[in-house]
Every structure is written in structure tokens, then in C-alpha cells.
Amino acid sequence: MNFSQLITTRRSHRVFTSTEIHPDVVQQILRAALLSPTSRNQRAWHFIVVDGKSDLEKLADAKEQGSSMLAHAAFAVVVLGDAAHNDCWVEDGSIAAITMQYQAHDLGIASCWVQIRGRRLSDATLSSDVVRGILDIPEAYDVLCIVAFGHPAQPLPPHDDDSILWERVHLDHF
């Protein structure tokens, strides 16, 4: 598949099968993150791979909405940044997260981004504090997101050209 096909067919999957993912595939996905571009090549991100069902189920409750698919994922990757090391940690972590998602899709693995940074539970508890508590993450690292991975339970249609918002592109001097 070429890149144009990849970006057209990659979709956020929220339903996964129970089929496990081979460790070599997980390693390829992580390799993609580790090769992703970073500001000034500082590589201030860190990744926690979670494949234990108990922890995945706990992470599924880290925010009010949009995280329940984690309970049924084959594995998830928590994307962390070190703000003291690099002020572009959010951007660098975001690039790494989508790079993992593109690599996963290329390998036939579905994924879904779960935003954590800036989210809260109904009692105002920060979602990042919930994740930090579940995984015993040191205070020096900030939690950006969690990416859920698994075999897709159903195919999703590709994006169609009618959904492209060309009106959001503004041309100057072309």
C-alpha cells in the first residue's frame, strides 16, 4: 500500500477481536515511534507498553468518555513526555503516536488514540493522574495519550473525497 492509500484507509477502530498480536509486530510499531521526528532531535518521549488485561481495564476508566476500547485492546502504548527536557514534548509525542498508528495500519493492526492530557473525571481528578497511579509513572513525565491496538473486529470504509474539508485550506500567492 502506498502512503496515499494508507492515509485514506486508516481509521480509528474502537472494537477489537480477542486475537493476540505477535511480539515482532509490536516491536515494529514501537520502532516506528522511536524513529519519528522530534524537535531538535531531543527524543524526550517515553513509551509504556501495556498488555495486561487488568491494567488495560483500569486504563479504560481513566476518563469519562472515549477510553472504553482500551479494555478490549490487545495492547496499548502510553505516550509520555518530559517537559523539563523539551518544551515540544506534546508535538513530539503526537508525532510518535500517529507514526505508530500508521505503522500499525500498514501491518493490518487497528488503533485508536485516547487523549489523556487535559482530560478529567467527573470528580475533577486529572486523567493523567489516574494513568500515573495505575502504571506508577514518575512525576517527571507527563502523560499525553494512550494508543489502543488490536485486530479490527470489523472493516471500516475508507475516507472519501467528499469528506475532505478543502475550505479549511487558505492559499496565498499561488
**Helices (H), ranges, the chain:** 3-9, 23-34, 53-59, 89-106, 127-135
pLDDT of residue 174: 65
Report residues of the chain scoring pLDDT below 70: 174
- The predicted model scores a pTM of 0.94
What cell was used for 91?
508535538
Give CA–CA dist 57/55, Å, rounded: 5
pLDDT of residue 9: 85
Q: How far from 67 is each of 13, 115, 116, CA to CA, in Å?
A: 12, 8, 9
What cell was used for 164?
475532505
Q: Which residues pair with 81 in a beta bridge?
A: 45, 142
Residue showing cell 516506528? 32
pLDDT of residue 90: 95
pLDDT of residue 141: 95
Give CA–CA dist 37/68, Å, rounded: 30
pLDDT of residue 6: 85
What cell was used for 83?
517537559
**Model confidence over 55-75: pLDDT tens digits?**
999 999 999 999 999 999 999
